[in-house]
Each structure stands twice: as C-alpha cells, then as structure tokens.
Structure 1
Amino acid sequence: MELIEPISRKLLRLGKLYLDVLVKQTAHLEVTRYHYILSLIYVHDGQLTQNALAHMLGKDKSAMVNIINLLSSRGFVYRENNPNDRRQQLLRVTEKAKLAVPQILETFENINTDITDGISEADMQVFESVLTRMHKNLKPLISPETTLQAKPHTD
C-alpha cells in the first residue's frame, strides 16, 4: 500500500510557513494573529457585524466572538451599536488598527511577491483556478444537502 499525502497537508505546511513570515515581519505591530480578519474589518470599518464577518469567512459565531474579543483586548477593534438595528453591533477599528493595517497590507503584498518569485502570471492564474475548483469540488461533500441525500429515505 502506498502512503498518499493529503493535499491539505501540503497547503497547511505552506500556510504555516507563510504565517511564520508574516508574524516575523509584523511583530512590531503586536498583531500576533488574525491579520487578515483585522484587515477585513479595517476595509469595511463600521459596515460589518460579527455575524456578517463570520459568514464571509465561513467561521462559526462563537469562534468569531473569540477572535473579536482578542482583537478588542489588543486595542485594534471595538463594537458599536448599529443605529439601524439595536440588536446588532458593528465592528470598528481603533486608531491603533488604522496605523497597523496599512503596514499589514504592504507585508501581504511583499510576501505574495516573494512567494510567487519565478512563477509566471499564467501559472498563478492556473493555481488560483485549481484552488477554486478544488474548493467547489469539496464543498458539496460537507453541505447539508449532500448529507440528506446520502441518508436512506425512511418515510
């Protein structure tokens, strides 16, 4: 029997290496994790609720609460009541985040340039296309519709 390495392991190794470089290059900003989530909140400053952000990222609500609590405790974001719906809270960035996020975005750009060195634009388009296709192929395997279809009909 041949041992087959899951594609996910290769992606996880690359992702971990990428994050290690990101954390090292942004250590002075004191954002030890959730750089991208902070960047999303920054770009949508005051327009996103926790639920909307969780949906956008495919994260469950309790995980998102923990992430926002961490970013809040570090002084990067805060919650503000939604004037149109008092049951909701909008996510806002602090001045600290307004200084940090442009540096984070520049670091993303620099790492992306470094990681794709020697890779043609055409190859990158193929890579993006393959990742998108893999995502589309896996998504139905966990959706509720697939689960319902897989169960025998018992009526």
Structure 2
Amino acid sequence: MAAAAPTFAASPQPELQRNYLVTRSSCTGGNQLRVTTDNVNTFFRIINVRPNSTVTGITASVLVSVNNLTGWTSSNAAWSAPTRTGETFSDGTRTYYRYRSNYVGTVPAPDANGTITLPRIDFSLPCSSAVPSPVWVNGRGEATVNGTTLSNIGGYRSV
C-alpha cells in the first residue's frame, strides 16, 4: 500500500483590493468630480504578493455616465491624468464611459505581509456643465502580477 502524499497549505493568490472615494460637488455653471484614496479607508493595494514578484499594468479607472469629459488632472505624479479610453460598460440601465489612469511610478516592494499599497490617488475633473446632479459612477482597478491579470470592479452608484 502506497503512503499518501503529504498535503501542503496552498499559498493565497495575489488579489487586488481597491476602494475609491468618488465625490461630486457643485460649482458655478455645473459640477465637478473628484476621485481619491487616503490609504486608510480608501485605497489601491495588492495583497498576497511574494517577494521578487513582477507587478505591471497597474491602472485605476472611474466609469462615469457622461461621455467626453475632458480636463481630468492627477495631483500625484505617480498616476497619469485619467483619459477616455473608448470602452463603454452598462449596468442594464445606463451606459458608462471609462476614464483610465496609468500608474507610472515605481512599484513599491511588498511589505512583510505581502501587501503592496500604491501611492494615493487624487483625480479631479474641473467644473463642467456636462456633469449632471446626480451622476452615476463606478470604480475599477487592474494590475498584472507574474503574468496574471487581477481586477477589482466596484458597484454602480450615484453621487
């Protein structure tokens, strides 16, 4: 009778976790949007990353129920200003337009727990008469770890 092979606990796989704060505020002639993280309650991080892993293709996106919003800025040089990608998504009721930022900074090494926390996000869209009140939004994040693409998609909501 053959002995059973030993069992080993499977290592947890990398996982992208993100939670953006998307806010809308009134301004003269319209509304403005802001997308932020504070790395406490709101964040963009990848967990279960082993040392020496290759992490690429990090993007943060906001989906907005308004097309052709221009003038987005990023106050953090590690993130590019969001731009319209041409991709659309639907929640079954509304069409959403993707505005994507690429992470262009140096990817931090994972901490002792295997977590990479990306620098804070702070995207702003200046006052625009094209942004209604309320406006519908969604957040997305993507990254590739050792050749495997990870994504995190939030729920659709109004702000």
Judge same fold: TM > 0.5, yes or no. no
Structure 1 or 2: larger helix share?
1
Q: Which has the higher contact order (CA 8 A, sep 6+)?
A: 2
For Structure 1 versus Structure 2, the TM-score category normalised by the shorter chain is under 0.3
Structure holding more strand per residue: 2
TM-score (norm 1): 0.23
- Bigger Rg, structure 1 or 2: 1
